[in-house]
Amino acid sequence: MRLSTRRRLSIVFAAVVASALAACGGAGVGGGGATQNLMPQNGYTGTTGVGARKIGPINIYPGEVVGEPNKFNPHTGDSPSGGQGQKVGAITCDKVEHIANYHVHYYVGLLVNGKQIAIPMAIGIMHPEPARNGYISKTQPTGCWYWIHTHDASGMMHIEDPRSLPPSDVLFKFGAALSVWGVTASANNFAQFKGPVHVYVGNVAQLGQTTVNAYTPFTKGVAEVPLHSHTVIWIEVGAKYLKANQLPPVTFYTEY
């Protein structure tokens, strides 16, 4: 029964990706760790309302750029202190994605002084092939996939673990993703962005297309956020904090 559910997830995901890639414009990522500037798409000027006190609903689609892009160094992929093919904690970099095993998704929104910053594509992907319409689906022969990675700059992060476990299980905290990415977080910074950090978390434990629209403060530090399926993490750095009820709903297109 679980196998048929996993196959259905793969089919739905592939169909959505194919449809989105046909419809969206985007930017590529060079292989071998090269970076390329991204242009904002739907969700940056139209949906997120960067700089506004209230941010509009976020409907995630493959290949989107949600937030102001190119603010991390490197613009795409892991930092030099992150995953470069070596084992990171318990997470290895494998030649294949584990799509048919434990496969869930969560969303990370980063607000710096009230403006949304895009989470880079290719986090946790070594030597990606160029993206097609903003979405990375393959690596070069020398490449590999960490179990936690991003295919695009939409803010949605993927967990694809080789263990055959139900999607209700929680295998990692957000600190594992930060280690793969190679960025640090504390009460006064997220990566290179300095200032007081506030974290809000929301989750809806259901299958199918899911909207998360209720958030509560998380005070244990962002690295300690447990990564349930369809968790939404909002990280606010600096001034112009939005309250929990001002943060936008996030709709996932994935089953888990």
Q: What is the pLDDT along the chain (256 residues), one digit of tens a residue?
A: 333 344 444 434 444 444 333 323 233 333 333 334 444 443 333 333 333 345 789 999 999 999 999 999 999 999 999 999 999 999 999 999 999 999 999 999 999 999 999 999 999 999 999 999 999 999 999 999 999 999 999 999 999 999 999 999 999 999 999 999 999 999 999 999 999 999 999 998 777 789 999 999 999 999 999 999 999 999 999 998 899 999 999 999 988 8
- The CA distance from 108 to 122, in Å, is 15
Please tell me whether residue 155 adopts helix, strand or coil conformation.
Answer: coil
Please tell me whether residue 234 adopts helix, strand or coil conformation.
Answer: strand
Single out the residue of 176, 157, 72, 77 nearest to residue 125, CA to CA. Answer: 77
Return the sign of the alpha-carbon dihedral for residues 124, 125, 127, 133: negative
- The CA distance from 105 to 186, in Å, is 24
pTM here is 0.82
- The CA distance from 230 to 244, in Å, is 17
Q: Which of the 8 DSSP states describes residue 8?
A: H
245-to-118, 201, 215, 230 alpha-carbon distances in Å: 21, 12, 7, 18
Going by DSSP bridges, is the β-strand pair 102-112/231-237 parallel, antiparallel, or unpaired?
Answer: parallel
Stated as kind and residue range, the H or E segment containing 217 is: strand 216-217
